[in-house]
Amino acid sequence: MESVYTSVDPTGSFCANIISKKGRNEVQIFPIDKTSSENIIVNALIKKFELSSDDRIRDVTWVSAERTSKSDSKRGTKRSKSEEKIDTNDTNESINLIILIESGDLLVFSPFKDEVVERISNETKLKALTGSLKQQSIVGIKEDNELLEINLSNNKTKTYKFKKSGEDIQTLKSIKYKGNGSTSKSQYILLGSQNLFLIDTSRSKKSLVSEFPKFEELKRIKNIQQSKIQNDIVFVSRDDCDLIYLYNLSTPESYSTFKTSSSKIFNIQTIASNEAEALMALTEDGIEIFNIDFETQHLEQKPIGLIKTDFHDSDASILFKNLFTKANEQLIGIWHDRNQPHFSIIDWLLKDIGERIIAIDYSEINDLEIDNNEDDQPNILLPDQVEVVNISFNELSKQLSGLLIERNSNTEEIIKLCESNNDETNIKETIRSFATLPNSSLLTNNLFDILSHKISKDFTTKSSLSIWLKWLLTVQGGFISKQAEQHGNLKSLQSGLEKGMKLLPRLLALQGRLQLLKSQADLRSNMHIDDDDDDENQDDENQTFNESFANQTTLAEESIVYANGENDDFEENETFDAGDAELVEEEEEEDDQ
């Protein structure tokens, strides 16, 4: 399954946008405004749910949400304790979204709830899901190709065996059908591997109703759609195959084919009006439209029409990935700007032929070259440190607005410009100046998109960008919060902040330990220095004492007059008399005085 895709419920009331990439798993539910011919989505009622990074989404389906009393039965499944508090009196809710995650657990979402309604733990992993025709029930396919039916209202489960060896069932779809031998308990399900099978789970024996022609060279079945006019007609597309197969459930040995111009088929849908019906294949080349002839058999029928966005052939290559009709038969196409779904009215009627280009509300933000790689984060390479060179407010505003609007602008240049300017007054005035420019909303959205991606990617790095983000949210926070395409960025920032808050105590503890170790090292170093100084001082004192003592001794010896004439220091030819000696001694005393 694709990492980003949409699923519209059978009543055409809600559209689910599924994001499941490495590190990011999110469910978004968009209410469809079925009464207005101008508004497509009720923006005030959009729900967004961010899942754990481990809850990678495998499949989705919609089921009836009319509730009955819940049982404490735990046959095959069990609910988390927090689910016991769910209000069971929500009679106005008509449908729920069921998410299958890779661990095997099932998550139940309501378009009217702000949190996950319930989480159901499965004893066995499932490969795929489909909504059951039974109220509040789903059917999943297990690894051994057994079918598991789960009643969501009372947790009861039932297993059906599919005895067909060598088939790896990856796709299943419940259909409304009344064939030969049908009863009121009949529940028909189409199973798809490389081949297609029809079973009736109400039959305890011989549940396999039909087996359709096999094509060993083809890859696995990806999409199954039932005709809206004739319920015995189904359409099947496969991976990497440019043929769509039409099967008649009443005569399984016969089939027709439609040939698309691309082997990359994202989705197939049928659009019906009165007695006419068209098959629409959403491919890399656009929405390819085929007439459906229920009466004759045909092979490789060519499309009669093609619908594309006006950005289909641009560098952005914006494609329609899904579509649906509103109550007034208005056709709506769904396209994505990165992970965010957008909805555009398609002015097209069943009788129309030829190519149609649909203008969409898209700004080529891709010109900013925010490269979303595998981890869905911008691939921005910057030096570790950027020199701060604050420029004037007027120059800063001119340069930044030009980079944000210019077609071939570089995200690295925008980041570098912001990081090299950290003067809060200039930053505040620059952001305020956006409101006076013609493209103020584009400037604000683009700058927030870049800053939020960069900061949420590495929230531990201190830089001038945090100052920019602070003032951008302070000045334009109200506008940003109302932009649906920015909700993902806001959640990424919130997630980064929460991670930072969780990391902060450990960083503070580590900082304390490092400071303690540094203090201990400084103390030891100072103690060694003091010891060395003490030793040196003691040596100096000893040396000074010895030298002083020696000098004093010498002076004393030199001042002594030996009466017996014994003084080895005098030369033999020198003679002194006592009078001279006494005179000299008296003069020295006078000098001392």
- Count the neighbouring beta carbons within 10 Å of the beta carbon of residue 230: 15
- Point out the domain boundary residue: 362, 379, 412: 362
pTM of full prediction above 0.85: no
pLDDT value of residue 90: 39
In a domain, 247, yes or no: yes
Residues 139 and 201 in one domain: no
Residue 1, CA distances (Å) to 76, 87, 302, 552 in order: 27, 33, 27, 103
CB 308 within 8 A of CB 286: yes
Kindly report, residue by residue over 121-165, the tens digit of the pLDDT: 887 889 999 998 888 899 999 988 899 999 888 888 899 888 787
Helices 411-419, 465-481: axis angle to 10 degrees equals: 120
Least confident of 92-106, 403-417, 528-542: 528-542
Kindly report, residue by residue over 433-453, the tens digit of the pLDDT: 888 888 888 888 888 888 888
Kindly report, residue by residue over 223-270, the tens digit of the pLDDT: 999 999 999 999 999 999 999 999 999 999 999 999 999 999 999 999
Question: How remote is the C-alpha of 172 from its chain's centroid?
Answer: 28
Residues 260 and 141 in one domain: no
The total number of structural domains in the chain stands at: 3
Range of the domain at 21: 1-84+92-161
Least confident of 41-55, 140-154, 232-246, 570-584: 570-584
pLDDT value of residue 266: 94
pLDDT value of residue 390: 86
Percent above pLDDT 70 for the chain: 78
In a domain, 65, yes or no: yes
CB 160 within 8 A of CB 201: yes
Three-state SS letters, 131-156: ECCCCCEEEEEECCCCEEEEECCCCC
Q: Tell me the sheet residues that pair with 32.
A: 41
Distance CA 105, CA 126 (A): 9
The tally of CA atoms less than 13 A away on the side-chain side of residue 97 is 30
- Point out the domain boundary residue: 362, 395, 423: 362
Residues 188 and 137 in one domain: no
pLDDT value of residue 535: 60
- Inform me whether the pLDDT recorded for 577 exceeds 70: no
Residue with the two structure tokens 């088939």: 167
| SS3 assignment, position 435 | helix
pLDDT value of residue 373: 43
Kindly report, residue by residue over 283-325, the tens digit of the pLDDT: 999 999 999 988 888 999 999 999 999 999 988 899 999 999 9
Residues 337 and 258 in one domain: yes
- Inform me whether the pLDDT recorded for 383 exceeds 60: no
Residues 154 and 204 in one domain: no
Residue 328, CA distances (Å) to 22, 271, 278, 449, 563 in order: 39, 13, 17, 36, 144
pLDDT value of residue 349: 86
Which residues lie below 8 Å from residue 280, measured CB to CB, with a gap of 6+? 268, 269, 270, 271, 287, 288, 289, 290, 323
Residues 183 and 231 in one domain: yes
- Inform me whether the pLDDT recorded for 549 exceeds 70: no
Query: What's the mean pLDDT when you consider all of the chain?
Result: 80
Q: State the Cα torsion 191-193-194-200 to the nearest 10°.
A: -20
Least confident of 202-211, 232-241, 433-442, 490-499: 490-499
Residues 187 and 296 in one domain: yes
In a domain, 450, yes or no: no
- Eight-class DSSP state of 469: H
Residues 156 and 188 in one domain: no
How much is the average pLDDT of 17-40?
A: 90
Residues 100 and 210 in one domain: no
Least confident of 45-54, 192-201, 503-512, 553-562: 553-562
In a domain, 516, yes or no: no
CB 456 within 8 A of CB 494: no
The tally of CA atoms less than 13 A away on the side-chain side of residue 277 is 19
Residue with the two structure tokens 């240049």: 413
